[in-house]
């Protein structure tokens, strides 16, 4: 019954989406439904989540067809026919404007203070190029050491993983 309702609700999607993803969505729904625990509350949560996701996905698909793909607040959503989201172009222009403004500001500082004072800053650059990566590595080592002491590293998590035959 639920699979029939799910298949009918797939018709809310545009035809191109339904042709491309309909069989896969139905198959995933069927597989997930077959692995549900027998508790009624778990089934209600599952069906509510799936049907609400189906309805919001169909609405988003129609908006994407009308207005182009957008970036929702909770994740980056990319269409297969675009390499980047369209908002990336806007963000690249903002970054370019920031770089150009920084270059102009640097030119005015150089004219104001002259090349002698600027060279004093450049003399400290090799120390910075050595010290910054060293401090970054020390910070990473400290955080990893803390996680290792708390047994929260990937190595500890993989040690607790149970494979399929062990669960039975």
Q: Model confidence over 85-119: pLDDT tens digits?
A: 667 888 899 999 999 999 888 888 777 766 666 56
Of 34, 32, 71, give the one whose Cα is nearest residue 51.
32
pLDDT at 82: 54
Is 74 domain-assigned? no
Is 32 domain-assigned? yes
Length of the chain counted residue by residue: 168
Is 46 domain-assigned? yes
Q: 45 with 22, same domain?
A: yes
Our count of domains for the chain comes to 3
* pLDDT above 70 (res 79): no
Q: 145 with 105, same domain?
A: no
Domain that holds residue 24: 2-67
Of 47, 22, 25, give the one whose Cα is nearest residue 36.
47
Q: CA–CA separation, 64 vs 51, rounded Å?
A: 20
Over residues 14-26, mean pLDDT: 86
Is 80 domain-assigned? no
Is 92 domain-assigned? yes
Q: 141 with 93, same domain?
A: no
pLDDT at 99: 94
Q: 63 with 108, same domain?
A: no
The answer to whether the Cα torsion of 137, 142, 145, 146 is positive or negative is negative
Q: What is the pTM of this model?
A: 0.40
Task: Give residue-wise pLDDT tens across range 25-72.
Answer: 888 888 888 888 888 888 888 888 888 888 888 888 888 777 766 555
């Amino acid at each position: 019954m639920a699979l029939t309702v799910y298949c009918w609700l797939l018709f809310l999607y545009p035809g191109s989406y339904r042709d491309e993803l309909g069989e896969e969505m139905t198959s995933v729904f069927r597989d997930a439904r077959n692995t549900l625990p027998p508790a009624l509350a778990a089934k209600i949560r599952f069906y509510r989540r799936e049907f609400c996701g189906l309805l919001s996905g169909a609405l988003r698909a129609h908006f994407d067809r009308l207005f182009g793909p957008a970036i929702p607040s909770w994740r980056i959503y990319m269409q297969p026919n675009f390499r980047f989201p369209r908002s990336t172009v806007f963000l690249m222009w903002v970054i370019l404007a920031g770089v150009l403004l920084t270059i102009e500001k640097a030119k005015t500082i150089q004219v104001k203070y002259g090349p002698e004072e600027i060279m004093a800053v450049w003399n400290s650059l090799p120390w910075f190029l050595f010290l910054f990566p060293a401090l970054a590595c020390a910070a990473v080592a400290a955080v990893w050491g803390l996680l290792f002491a708390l047994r929260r590293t990937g190595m500890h998590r993989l040690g607790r993983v149970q494979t399929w035959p062990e669960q039975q």
